[in-house]
Structure 1
Amino acid sequence: MSESLASEQCQACRPDSPTVTGTDAAALLEELPGWQIVVRDGMEQLSGDFEFPNFADALAFTNRVGALAEEADHHPAITTEWGRVNVRWWTHSIGGLHRNDFIMAARASGAATP
C-alpha cells in the first residue's frame, strides 16, 4: 500500500473535473499492488480483491472500508462473500477515475489488516 497516497486528502469533485487516464493512471496504479483498472458499464474503475480466512473477517473488512468511505464521503461498490471481498472505486459524477479513487483504494488496502 502506498502510505503517501493513503495520507492524501480527497478533493471535492465536480462533473467537469478531469478523469485520470493513460500514463497518469498507470503511475498511480503502480502504487497499489493487487489493484487493477477494469471497465464496467463503460467506465474505468479500480478493482481490488481481498482474501480472508472466513466470512467474519471479510465482513469486518467490509465494515472498515465502509467507515473510511463515510469519512471521505466517497463510496465504493463492495461485494462480500465467504472469505473474499471485492472493492471497486470510481467517480460517478465524472464517469471514470479521479485521484480520489486511487487515494481510497490505498486506504482500503491499509484496512485489510486490522
Structure 2
Amino acid sequence: MSLTQTEIDSKITAIPQWQQKDRTLTRTFKFKNFVKAIAFVNQLVEPAEAAGHHPDIEISYNKVTISLTTHESGGITQMDFDLAQTISQLAQ
C-alpha cells in the first residue's frame, strides 16, 4: 500500500539526500569515475534481488541516479524507503 504524503514527509528525513519526485524517491550519487560508478551499481544487485524490489537506474559517466517506486501500489511504499536506506549505506 502506498504511503500518505504525511508518512513520506516523515520518513524522508531518515534518508538524507533522497528527494521525492512525484511518486518516486530519487537520489544521484557521484563517483570518482565511470569504473567506480559501475562498481556501485553492481553492489545493488544482491540487496535488490533479496528484497524483490528493483530500482530504476540511470548511469551517466560518474553519476548514478536511482529512482524507487512500487509500481504495484502506484506510489512510494515502505519497501522503497527500506531499499533507499540500504543503497545509501552501500554508497558510504
- TM superposition score category, shorter chain reference: over 0.9
Matches within 5 A, 1:97-112: 97-112=76-91
User: For residue 70 of structure 2, what is the aligned residue in structure 1?
Assistant: 91
Length-normalised TM-score, structure 1: 0.77
What residue in structure 1 maps to residue 37 of structure 2?
58
Larger Rg: 1
Identity over aligned pairs, percent:
34
C-alpha distance in 1 between matches for 2:17 and 2:35: 22
Provide structure 1 residue ranges, at least 5 long, that are not aligned to the other structure: 1-17
Structure 2 CA distance, aligned partners of 1:65 and 1:87? 10
Is the counterpart of residue 82 in structure 1 residue 61 in structure 2? yes
SS in 2 for 1:94: coil
Distance 1:87 1:22 in 2: 20
Structure 1 position 19 matched with structure 2 position 2: yes
Alignment deviations for residues 1-43 of structure 1 (CA, whole Å, 9 cap, x no partner): xxxxxxxxxxxxxxxxx2112211011100010000102xxxx
Q: Which residue identity does 1:51 align to in structure 2? A: K
TM-score, length of structure 2 as denominator length: 0.95
1:46 equivalenced with 2:30 (yes/no):
no
